Amino acid sequence: MATVTYDHATRLYPGSERPAVDALNLHIEDGEFLVLVGPSGCGKSTSLRMLAGLEDVNAGRILIGDRDVTDVQPKDRDIAMVFQNYALYPHMTVADNMGFALKIAGTPKAEIRTRVEEAAKILDLTQYLDRKPKALSGGQRQRVAMGRAIVRQPQVFLMDEPLSNLDAKLRVQTRTQIASLQRRLGVTTVYVTHDQTEALTMGDRIAVLKDGLLQQVGTPRDMYDTPANVFVAGFIGSPAMNIGTFPVQGDAADLGQAHVVLPREAVSAISSEDKGQITVGFRPEALDVVPQGTADAIPVVVNIVEELGSDAFVYGSLGRGVAGEVRSGAGDSQVIVRVDPRQVPGKGETIHVRIRPGEQHLFHAGSGERISA
């Protein structure tokens, strides 16, 4: 087992002016499950491929344990990678696929068989060892790819969006299996996904990337409760956080007919770059539905209601009299409100909501960075 360290690691593709990964500094503890997450093109897969040795590092270093592997060949890094598309040999049986890397390395046949059978038992693949990949389901093929990595007994597992080709139900099942397996084996794991739900449910820690830059790294709870900037706030959480920028009047953010009272420290932190405004974020569950006429209530016109059984979410637009715009994962000018699933409003109705005191997130309107208050 080993730690992994990115030390100002940079990857600049030929012909590009902006690095795909820009001076990444990240330390992953021995046995940790770290998830790299972000939108398409943010540099997460490139970061993983740099660690695997499949992409050159133009500046900085990458270390596995105390060993600098920046210029070491992939086969000599003692890592095992699980790909999005399984990458199984169609003419080989499951057992041969899982043991192929050991065969190439000259491992004795008896040891290969022992390791393959042990991995198959862990992954519930014992009955499929003599089948070809075409006779397996997508979830079973992904488990074979996992088994191929496990039998190598590497220092580090690398997983590049391994669940993307699975259907929704199987994806939930398999992510639970992967997380449980990693904790059982205790192998340092770097996992790449664009799905923030996967990141929140699987990782010991999450690293959020945007445009090749590390935005924040921390536990899932850190990311949810104290996002470092507007991007992380809007990206982490499902449904997404509502975010709006409003003028500051005295000690409150002015939403027109409603006001959000701000801590004194937040008002003091507003700079000239913010131009007298502040960005306020509030999650769907931080809103209470209140009677019409309640002080500082925000009117929301219901557009769509998602009923999920135990939960219900209203997707609506701001009613009249509200200054500024609020955006969310549902799009610009959309507000998401969590409501009582047994008292769901109808489409076209207007509900009134109020942000619970202390449950708003405050950011600089200029830079988007979090205001610690």
Q: What is the pLDDT of residues 307-366, one digit of tens each?
A: 998 999 999 888 765 656 677 765 666 889 999 999 899 998 999 999 988 899 999 999
| Topology match between the domains 4-233 and 240-364 | no
Q: Count Cβ atoms below 10 Å from residue 19 Cβ, excluding itself.
A: 20
DSSP-assigned states of every residue in 240-273: PPEEEEEEEETTEEE-BS-EEE--HHHHHH--GG
Q: What is the pLDDT of residues 70-81, one digit of tens each?
A: 999 998 999 999
Which ranges of 53-93 would DSSP assign to H, the alpha helix? none
Domain ranges of the chain: 4-233, 240-364
- Supply the mean pLDDT for the chain: 90
Look at domain 4-233 and name its CATH class: alpha beta
> What was the pLDDT predicted at 173?
83
Q: Which of 178, 180, 243, 229 is nearest to 38 (CA)?
A: 229
> What was the pLDDT predicted at 312?
94
Which whole number is the average pLDDT over 180-202?
91
> What was the pLDDT predicted at 175?
86
Asked whether residue 373 carries a pLDDT value surpassing 60, the answer given is no
Q: What is the pLDDT of residues 30-50, one digit of tens each?
A: 999 999 999 999 999 999 999
Q: Which of 95, 97, 151, 149 is nearest to 125 (CA)?
A: 95
- Residue in this structure with the two tokens 């007298």, named with its chain if needed: 276
Q: What is the pTM of this model?
A: 0.89
What's the CATH architecture for 240-364? Answer: Beta Barrel (2.40)
